[in-house]
């Protein structure tokens, strides 16, 4: 009866790992991820050759690197999706410690690559953005703490998780990377809400976040410049936002044609932060809606599966990872259509970037692992465990 009501998958004695994984994993989500990666390769093929020419590189330099890092990211996704929730929890805690150390070292050893924000470690042959890898580990750690706080005589997990959140947000603001800081803060708020936070307290935390934004506007020229550019009645024709908005307008419903777009010749970040503008110009609204439908399918299917989950850690970690994934995509698209100020945030699985592809692959693997169908047990069993 439990299986009929909750959609659980019974264990089969002696079943091998791969057949059990294939039987319990969400194959629709895997299909959507593979299609997103295919769209990313297609758009990188359209957007990156002009940039490669400006940098004196072979025409398909960025496409080849996108394919390599994408393959590594997909491999990480499949491997991570086979792990148990307990293993994910341990790896998440270790990953958070490593990511936190890396953020502390960024002001000393990091570089900004001329972009005004110290976010990367340069390795010569590649660069690493530690905040990308910190995000999924942060979600797992917070889920563990919030779930532990709900157990009888448990630790003050909510307060500890808030302390870690403030620390991470502060380190990201120093870079400065207010987009990632806002994403971290939002994700913690969603997880705290799902864990049972009072609405009044959530409103108070929202007011505090708004106050922090005002302080950042008054104290950071980098932050203020982006907000002023977003609020300006007319876009500066020299900015990336202007080129992106114009490209989307020119694309219309069907686009101007494959290879006929011009925004990739003007935008230095056409293959990363503004990849959706390239899609809109060359392939039109049809391609944009297809990409958004893929993100919506992944998000809704994961949340639907998590709604049936009774384990608090799995439910909280899965919700946090899914919401972080969806909101990052929403922010990237929102910036391109001028619904949000510029954030410098990639479109998951679509934008070019080694750190983004690898970290997103790990995060999606965690989502797949946490949303695999598993025996839930009866509600009475859970109540007995709590007493």
CA distance 223 to 86: 39
Asked if residues 100 and 168 have their Cβ atoms less than 8 Å apart, the reply is: yes
Task: Name the pTM for this structure.
Answer: 0.87
* Sign (positive or negative) of CA dihedral 17, 19, 20, 24: positive
Assess whether pLDDT exceeds 50 at residue 199: yes
Residue found by looking up tokens 């009475």 in the block:
380
Q: Report DSSP state, residue 8.
A: -
Q: What is the mean pLDDT of residues 126-148?
A: 92
Q: Averaging pLDDT over each range in 48-52, 236-240, 294-298, 340-344, which range is the top one?
A: 294-298
Please tell me which residue, 298 or 378, carries the higher pLDDT value.
298
Q: Measure the CA–CA gap between 249 and 124, rounded to whole angstroms.
A: 39
Mean pLDDT is lowest, of 143-157, 308-322, 336-350, for 336-350
Say which residue the tokens 């060359």 belong to.
282
pLDDT above 90: percentage of residues in the chain: 40
Q: How far apart are CA 82 and CA 93, in angstroms?
A: 18
Token pair belonging to 194: 């799902």
pLDDT band for position 145 (50/70/90)?
very high
Report percent pLDDT > 70 for the chain. Answer: 87
Kindly tell me if the per-residue pLDDT of 376 is higher than 70: no
Which residues make Cβ contacts (< 8 Å) with residue 1, sequence separation at least 6?
A: none
- Most confident region among 75-89, 102-116, 212-226 by mean pLDDT: 75-89
Contact criterion met (CB below 8 Å) for 132 and 359:
yes
């Amino acid at each position: 009866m439990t299986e009929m009501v909750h959609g659980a998958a019974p264990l089969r004695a002696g079943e091998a790992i791969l057949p059990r994984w294939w039987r319990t994993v969400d194959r629709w989500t895997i299909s959507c991820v593979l299609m997103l990666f295919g769209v990313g390769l297609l758009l990188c093929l359209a957007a990156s050759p002009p940039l490669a020419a400006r940098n004196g590189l072979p025409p398909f330099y960025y496409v080849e690197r996108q394919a390599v890092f994408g393959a590594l990211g997909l491999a990480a996704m499949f491997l991570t999706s086979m792990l148990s929730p307990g293993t994910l929890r341990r790896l998440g805690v270790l990953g958070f410690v490593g990511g936190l150390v890396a953020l502390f070292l960024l002001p000393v050893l990091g570089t900004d690559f001329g972009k005004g924000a110290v976010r990367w470690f340069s390795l010569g042959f590649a660069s690493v953005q530690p905040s990308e890898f910190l995000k999924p580990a942060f979600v797992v750690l917070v889920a563990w703490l919030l779930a532990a706080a709900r157990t009888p005589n448990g630790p003050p997990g909510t307060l500890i998780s808030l302390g870690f959140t403030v620390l991470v947000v502060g380190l990201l603001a120093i870079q400065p990377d207010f987009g990632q800081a806002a994403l971290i803060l939002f994700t913690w708020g969603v997880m705290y809400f799902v864990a049972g936070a009072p609405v009044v307290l959530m409103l108070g935390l929202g007011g505090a976040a708004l106050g922090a934004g005002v302080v950042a506007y008054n104290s950071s020229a980098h932050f203020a410049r982006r907000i002023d550019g977003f609020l300006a009645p007319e876009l500066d024709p020299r900015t990336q936002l202007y080129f992106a908005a114009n490209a989307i307008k020119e694309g219309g419903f069907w686009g101007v044609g494959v290879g006929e777009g011009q925004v990739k010749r003007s935008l230095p970040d056409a293959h990363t932060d503004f990849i959706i503008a390239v899609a809109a110009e060359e392939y039109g609204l049809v391609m944009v809606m297809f990409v958004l439908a893929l993100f919506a399918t992944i998000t809704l299917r994961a949340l639907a599966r998590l709604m049936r989950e009774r384990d608090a850690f799995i439910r909280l970690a899965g919700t946090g990872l899914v919401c972080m994934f969806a909101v990052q995509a929403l922010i990237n698209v929102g910036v391109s259509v001028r619904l949000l100020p510029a954030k410098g945030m990639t479109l998951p699985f679509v934008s070019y970037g080694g750190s983004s592809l690898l970290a997103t692959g790990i995060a999606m693997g965690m989502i797949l692992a946490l949303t695999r169908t598993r025996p839930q047990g009866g509600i009475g069993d859970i109540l007995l465990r709590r007493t």
